[in-house]
Amino acid sequence: MLMFKTWRIGKHERGLWFRHGDFQGILRPGKHRFWNWPLLRRANWVQTVNTLVTKFEHTLLDMIVRDPRARDELLVLDLGDSERAFVWKNDRLAYVLEPGRHVFWREPAELTVETYNVSEFRFDHARLETIVGMADARKHLLIVDVEPHETVLLLRDGQIVDTLGEGRYAYWRAAGRLEARKVDRREQVLDVAGQEIMTHDKVTLRVNLLVMWSVTDPVKMATLVKDADQALYRDAQLALRAAIGTRKLETLLANKDAVGDELREAMVKRAEHMGIAIHTVGLKDIILPGEMKAILNRVIEAEKQAEANLIRRREETATVRSQLNTAKLIAETPHLARERELELLGEILRGTKATIVLGQGDVAEQIRGMVSSLES
């Protein structure tokens, strides 16, 4: 019968030594012998554990870590309710720890532990990009990415606690009920479409309005209005009805830009109160009823016809005036009359092969006589 029982512990192992079920200590690498007498054969028992599995878990963990002899081999972390910890293994993030007891083998890996109190709320770290890349870390951290054109309002338990500009931010989720509300500061377009409104002369129109706006004070906008789009839409409707209801159709169609300016002036003060700037307001479309379109088409046709008649009369008057001036000039200048008569004769004889011989005497009289004979 063997007098001793031997356990061999490898370099990457440790032995948990129990006697009569009670923890006695941790055995380091090497050979360990225990008496193997019949009465002690089952008294000593060694459980071999692989230390390459850095985090140590055991059903008797609480009993093991209370033994002072185990503290040289084990790193024990007791985290309170408001604490979280990161464990770096060989300079790589390996564990994100919640409240409770966590135990790690001190060897063979090189461990670095960082403990944080979540009541500090904001989390800053030189290696934030590495941390947020780990899924377990994102369970504990709210990551907020802010684009250059954005402002983010950070709410904690319903209250605005910070205003964030461009960059990446991290906050402990356990610090409270967190919400990151993004506000786009770029110019935006609000389309107020299909508004049926009656003009001062009782004509019902459908009007489409375009409003261009942007946020100037994100905090004011978030605290004063629930939905900025809806608030602007409502204000635009009311201002549009007020502006069109006081104008006749003819005035409205003749100067749409004036309506846009009036609407913008009416909306600016209310928008400033909400932290919003109004840039442009304009009537996009004015849609008339079918019968009103026909009436306007006839009116326009009549106006254009009247304009055409006026132009024609002006041309006729100018022609008559020109003829009178020519006749007066010819009467005052005899040689121009003779030249004009020759031009007329040339027009009459154009295209013929006639030969005309004029004798002595007044050429004009001879031409008149020849023209008279041709007409007869």
pLDDT digits (tens, 9 = 90+) for 193-241: 877 888 887 778 888 889 999 999 999 998 888 888 899 999 998 888 8
Give 196: exposed, middle or buried? Use CB within 10 Å, 0-12, 13-18, 19+.
Answer: exposed
Q: Confidence class of residue 149 from pLDDT cuts 50, 70 and 90?
A: very high
Q: What is the pLDDT of residues 85-114, one digit of tens each?
A: 999 999 999 999 999 999 999 999 999 999
The total number of structural domains in the chain stands at 3
Residue of 32, 33, 15 whose CA lies nearest to 24: 15
Q: Are residues 302 and 246 in the same domain?
A: no
Same domain, 318 and 338: no
- Together in a domain, 357 and 297: no
Tokens for 115? 């403990």
Residue 79 falls inside a structural domain = no
Residue 304 lies in a domain: yes
C-alpha pair distances (Å), 286 with each of 59, 291, 314:
79, 15, 36
Range(s) of the domain holding residue 327:
291-332
Widest pairwise Cα distance in the chain: 177
327 and 338 both lie in a single domain? no
Is this model's pTM higher than 0.75 or not? no
Specify whether 273 is located in the same domain as 299.
no
C-alpha to C-alpha distance for 209 and 237, rounded to whole angstroms: 9
Residue 110: inside a domain, yes or no?
Answer: no
